[in-house]
Amino acid sequence: MNNAIEPIAAEVLSIFPVADGIYELELAAPKAAEQAKPGQFAMLRPGAGGKPYLGRPMGIYDRDLKRGSISILFEVHGAGTRAMAELHEGDKLELLAPLGNGFTPAADLRRALVIGGGIGVAPLYPLLCQLKSQGVETEIMLGAQCGERMLALERLVRLGIPTRLYTDDGTMGKRGYLTEDLPEVLRYGRFEQVFCCGPMPMMRAVANICAEYRTPCQVSLEERMGCGFGICVCCVVDCQDAEGNISKKRVCYDGPVFDSQEVVWHA
Amino acid sequence: MPNLAVEFAGIKAKNPVFTASGTCGFGRELNEIFPIEKLGGMMLKGTTLQPRLGNPTPRVAEAPSGVINCVGLQNPGLQNVLTEQLPWVLQHDLAILQNIAGSEPAEYAEMAAALDKVPGLAGLEVNISCPNVKAGGMAHGSDPKLAAAVVSAVRESTKLPVVVKLTPNVTDVGEIARAVEAAGADAVSLVNTFLAMVIDVKRRRPLLGNVMGGLSGPAIRPIAVRMVWQVAQSVKIPVIGMGGIETGEDALQFIMAGASAVAVAAATMVNPLAPLRIIEEMDAWLEKEGVADINELIGAALP
CB contact under 8 A, B22 and A232: yes
Across the 303 residues of chain B, what is the mean pLDDT of every consecutive 10-residue run?
97 98 97 96 97 96 96 96 98 98 94 97 94 72 93 98 97 97 98 96 96 97 98 98 98 98 97 97 98 98 97
Q: How far is CA A195 from the centre of its chain?
A: 10
Q: Has domain A111-259 been given CATH number 3.40.50.80?
A: yes
CA-based torsion, B276, B195, A51, B74: positive or negative? positive
Residue ranges per structural domain of chain B: 6-55+70-196+216-297
Distance from CA of A254 to the nearest CA of B (A): 11
The CATH superfamily label for domain A8-99 reads: Translation factors (2.40.30.10)
CB contact under 8 A, B62 and A53: yes
pTM of the predicted model over 0.90 = yes
pLDDT tens column, A206-235? 999 999 999 999 999 999 999 999 999 999
Distance from C-alpha of A68 to C-alpha of A87, rounded to nearest angstrom: 19
Distance from C-alpha of B75 to C-alpha of B85, rounded to nearest angstrom: 11
Amino acid at A240: Q
Beta strand spans in chain A (E): 8-19, 22-28, 41-45, 56-64, 69-75, 92-99, 111-117, 137-144, 163-167, 174-175, 193-197, 217-220, 236-240, 246-250, 257-259
Mean pLDDT of chain B: 96
Over 60: is that where the pLDDT of A3 sits? no
pLDDT confidence bin for A28, thresholds 50/70/90: very high
| Model ipTM over 0.90 | yes
Residue ranges per structural domain of chain A: 8-99, 111-259
Is B130 a known active-site residue? yes
Q: What are phi and psi of B6, to 5 degrees?
A: -130, 160
- Contact (CB, 8 A) for B44 and B73: no
Beta pairing partners, A115? A141, A196
Over 50: is that where the pLDDT of A1 sits? no
Amino acid A2: pLDDT: 44
Q: What are phi and psi of B109, to 5 degrees?
A: -65, -40
CB contact under 8 A, A234 and B60: yes
The CATH superfamily label for domain B6-55+70-196+216-297 reads: Aldolase class I (3.20.20.70)
Pick the residue from chain B with its C-alpha nearest to A227: B269
A157 close to B (CB below 8 A)? no
Distance from C-alpha of B127 to C-alpha of B69, rounded to nearest angstrom: 16
B290: region left, alpha or beta (phi > 0 left; psi from -120 to 50 alpha): left
- Contact (CB, 8 A) for A236 and A209: no
Domains A8-99 and A111-259 belong to one CATH topology: no
Q: How far is CA B19 from the centre of its chain?
A: 8
Amino acid A182: pLDDT: 98
